[in-house]
Structure 1
């Protein structure tokens, strides 16, 4: 199927509708289309064309959106790099994609040798009258590097069709909206950030772009800028509620998608009391963001919901055999949002993709209603004396302790049991490490699942994707 640039379509259908907002600046579809045309001309002047890769090191900024849509118009592939990485970490990623062009914000340019200034890149360009080309849905649009918590990052290739299918699936679950306004607080080098960028364009909505998460700014966008959707993790959701002192949200705000792990029951109750409808989700880069999400009329916070419309999820054993409802095993995903493969890594691609299914390397279980409960990454699984322990299950118990803000559980070697769980916990402000954590866990967990140690931290180490860096915690536990 052939499609065209949604920004140009928006400029033709509703030119004065707001398409993008950032720090008090606003672009309509007409003015955004003109800006994208200018960036398209700048790319063409540099000889960037079909299939070329363009690497970018930047925080979230309107220029990233101009570049993203301009790359689509010339048929090039966007390779955004994690703005929190060091020069030593970035260089292998650049080498892997072999970009025709490398751009960086001036403030980050010293980390990327040979990069051109993003700010000055289009200065001499003028909009080109060249007619727009149509895109095939299987055209690669983005190479997104996975976070690398379990090894060297791999570049997942996501197509135009995958982004459009992700938009359709999410919209089918959330319900019709005449002009959705997504809060863009996730970085644009993250699949979640790009999902919001593309969804608003495909649906004729507006992206309320933020350079970074700030609870006060989020609440202003909710209260005064008509934000209708947002994506949070438990800790950012709590910060939003704290900052607004639990004031009720306006009716213009519809749903918040919640990812990143278990959410305390008390926090969900608090959110509902403030009129914030939270839907738990499960997703991954290789499936172009969301895979499962709670249905709005069935959300109870107990699972990550069923697959989005058009997607399939199944649970298989380590031998690949299909498992029944209630049986724990590896999560596999099938549908049009699946990645095309890993960039220039045939062996890794063949390991991940088989018979139309994506092996996620996550461990989960489906209930009788097809709802997914995620238990752990396969590599995070803790095997104690032959028994499988899932960090998410233990973390969910700790999350409900009134003095614990967040936690992470890792396995460490043990001469008797093979592995034992150690829990790292972040106490809430003003609370010391609770002395009753062992007893608290024993109320809900079998004895062998209870952590052997509880270690207090001020914060959990996280990467730029907000994922807990468990390898760092394992090293700390072992030392």
Structure 2
């Protein structure tokens, strides 16, 4: 039974925010400005439609929706009826999509055309046309039920479905200002007009949208997400941004600056950003860059605000536990790199229908992140690489992260990515891909020498390839698989 200390059940806090907003516009979609009360009415109507269709606790619902007030309402409505919601990203590869739809999905809810492999399909329009219930529907979920399946990016193979319970969603702080850590309280003051794009099936887009709602802001859907145009055209104060897009925005502002005086927050998501690039972004754009660190399995682990030390991802909140462990599993001292193990209030309970992978990652209440990093003496968290992002040279294991940081720290390099590829002489070798800094031509021999001097001769890239931009996976993260495939086809040992 809940106690007075328990957080209210999800999605109750979000519905309360909509009710409190009343006629205040919480969603701007083209010429439409939708108030909180209107959006809450959409939630109630769609929930009634789902119930009439037999969707309730234990039902598996795949959400294939874009970014509209109705999409936002549909996701909340599925939680109102207690369903297990799986968000499906746009652009997901056919095999991955078919795999998701085979994983205990009873119905697909969509605001577009359903894929051929879909089971039963309910459109958002049809749900809205269903008879409305008498008054607000009750919350049907049980705390231990799985509330949503959040899919990993699949960057290391088949996407895994992280199973998050209703109890974990209720414990999350996003919709509860009283539980916000200090850096989030600062961020919340900057979300007056927050750009949302892509799909609200994305965990990141949905949660920052809810945060903007809780902060009294408006979610704004751009007609095109291209930056900086969308920021200017929609007078946006904030947006989520990947590292690659941030670098392009900074380079563009150096070449041909536009007025971004209304911009107050860019939340970097998806991959780490090196300290030099972060300092440049803050120099060019001002104190607006927030660098978050989290995983699909855990939600947010830590976030650095504009005034935090460059290179760190800030102080983990009090509600989050972080332990750095060495190869023997024992905690290591401050300043020493190791693998990060974390516990968060809203973490997943495991991977859906995958007990073997669950046992490897979810251990004794901790989540094994497979990220490398350290805590400094003041408790700031630093990321240094991935445990599986390795190159095995002459039977010795080396991590790609330190090589990438050396390359990206050179003034002629904007981005650097390192992958392993087979090598006849050494078993594997490092292969680097670099995006030049604006208008510069990196000296490739000098870059190889820099890596050899700072990391070791065996880590010096066998090849360095100049690219205009890193290929991206459907998740928006750098697609190292595509880079590795290119490196494997070109196993040369010298120069570009």
Could you state the TM-score of these two structures normalised by the residue count of structure 1? 0.87
Query: In the alignment, is the contact (CA less than 8 A) between 1:260 and 1:466 conserved in 2?
Result: no
Q: CA deviation at 1:129?
A: 1.8
Q: Within 2, Cα distance between the matches of 1:103 and 1:254?
A: 32
Q: 1:147-226 residue pairs with structure 2 within 5 A?
A: 147-163=153-169, 164-167=171-174, 171-175=181-185, 177=188, 180-181=191-192, 182-185=194-197, 187-210=199-222, 213-220=225-232, 224-225=235-236
Greater displacement, 445-454 / 160-169 = 160-169
Q: 1:352-371 residue pairs with structure 2 within 5 A?
A: 352-371=361-380
Q: Within 1, Cα distance between the matches of 2:28 and 2:181?
A: 21
- Aligned length in residues: 472
Deviation string, structure 1 residues 183-237 (Cα, Å, up to 9, x no partner): 324643332112213323445543234577320344237x724x2x432222222
Q: Partner residue of 1:133?
A: 138
Q: Partner residue of 1:410?
A: 419
Query: In the alignment, is the contact (CA less than 8 A) between 1:156 and 1:340 conserved in 2?
Result: yes
Q: Within 2, Cα distance between the matches of 1:368 and 1:186?
A: 39
Query: In the alignment, is the contact (CA less than 8 A) between 1:422 and 1:454 conserved in 2?
Result: yes
Greater displacement, 86-95 / 57-66 = 57-66
Query: In the alignment, is the contact (CA less than 8 A) between 1:255 and 1:276 conserved in 2?
Result: no
Pair 233,151 (structure 1): closer, same or farther in 2 beyond 3 Å: same
Q: Within 2, Cα distance between the matches of 1:211 and 1:378?
A: 40
Q: CA deviation at 1:444?
A: 4.5
Q: CA deviation at 1:333?
A: 0.6
Pair 241,429 (structure 1): closer, same or farther in 2 beyond 3 Å: closer
Q: What is the SS of the residue equivalent to 2:415?
A: strand
Q: Partner residue of 2:485?
A: 475
Which of the numbers 60, 63, 70 marks the counterpart of 1:56? 63
Pair 335,119 (structure 1): closer, same or farther in 2 beyond 3 Å: closer
Q: What is the SS of the residue equivalent to 1:321?
A: coil
Residue 343 of structure 1 pairs with residue 352 of structure 2? yes
Q: CA deviation at 1:270?
A: 4.2
Q: Within 1, Cα distance between the matches of 2:148 and 2:265?
A: 29
Q: 1:59-78 residue pairs with structure 2 within 5 A?
A: 59-78=66-85
Q: 1:423-462 residue pairs with structure 2 within 5 A?
A: 423-427=432-436, 434-435=443-444, 436-442=446-452, 444-462=454-472
Q: Partner residue of 2:106?
A: 100
Residue 280 of structure 1 pairs with residue 286 of structure 2? no
Q: Within 2, Cα distance between the matches of 1:162 and 1:208?
A: 28
Pair 185,449 (structure 1): closer, same or farther in 2 beyond 3 Å: farther
Unaligned segments of structure 1, at least 5 residues? none
Query: In the alignment, is the contact (CA less than 8 A) between 1:262 and 1:399 conserved in 2?
Result: no
Pair 218,310 (structure 1): closer, same or farther in 2 beyond 3 Å: farther
Query: In the alignment, is the contact (CA less than 8 A) between 1:246 and 1:274 conserved in 2?
Result: no
Residue 236 of structure 1 pairs with residue 245 of structure 2? yes
Pair 179,455 (structure 1): closer, same or farther in 2 beyond 3 Å: closer
Pair 304,8 (structure 1): closer, same or farther in 2 beyond 3 Å: closer
Q: What is the SS of the residue equivalent to 1:175?
A: helix
Residue 306 of structure 1 pairs with residue 315 of structure 2? yes
Pair 206,112 (structure 1): closer, same or farther in 2 beyond 3 Å: farther
Greater displacement, 183-192 / 343-352 = 183-192
Q: What is the SS of the residue equivalent to 1:286?
A: coil
Which of the numbers 20, 25, 39 marks the counterpart of 2:46? 39
Q: What is the SS of the residue equivalent to 1:109?
A: coil
Q: Partner residue of 2:151?
A: 145
Q: Within 1, Cα distance between the matches of 2:334 and 2:166?
A: 34
Q: 1:256-267 residue pairs with structure 2 within 5 A?
A: 256-257=267-268, 259-263=270-274, 265-266=276-277
Q: CA deviation at 1:426?
A: 2.8
Pair 328,11 (structure 1): closer, same or farther in 2 beyond 3 Å: closer
Q: Partner residue of 2:3?
A: none
Pair 71,211 (structure 1): closer, same or farther in 2 beyond 3 Å: farther
Q: 1:292-303 residue pairs with structure 2 within 5 A?
A: 292-297=302-307, 299-303=308-312
Query: In the alignment, is the contact (CA less than 8 A) between 2:370 and 2:386 conserved in 1?
Result: yes
Q: CA deviation at 1:459?
A: 2.9
Q: Partner residue of 1:122?
A: 127
Q: What is the SS of the residue equivalent to 2:172?
A: helix
Instruction: Give RMSD over aligned pairs.
Output: 3.0
Q: CA deviation at 1:424?
A: 1.4
